[in-house]
Amino acid sequence: MINRALLLTLLLSGCADTMLVGYGGDTNYLTFDHPNSEKAIADVRTRAERLCQQRKQVAIRTASVCSLTKCVTDYQCADEADVIRYGLERTAT
């Protein structure tokens, strides 16, 4: 099953500029592979916020690594109380 999902991800990678490569109902971590552009970065932030809002949580960007053309950006969905308690920085809206 995992092999099918990986194959499907690889096949569809040519069809989309921004791809969510890691997310599941049992985890609160999101990983996006996307172009290094302001538009793509904003699109990724919007998608992360939307996915976290579905869980009644907020999106926190935890890492972002970029080359000249591509980026991998990680987000974590966190409860509002944890954001306040640990002083986490929310994504800018």
Predicted local distance difference test score (pLDDT) of residue 90: 73
Predicted local distance difference test score (pLDDT) of residue 92: 54
CB 69 within 8 A of CB 36: yes
Is-above-0.75 flag for pTM?
Answer: no
Q: Label residue 23 by pLDDT band (50, 70, 90).
A: confident
Domain limits, the chain: 17-86
Segment (H or E) for 11: helix 2-12
First-residue to last-residue Cα distance in the chain: 36
- How far is 40 from 17, CA to CA, in rounded Å? 8
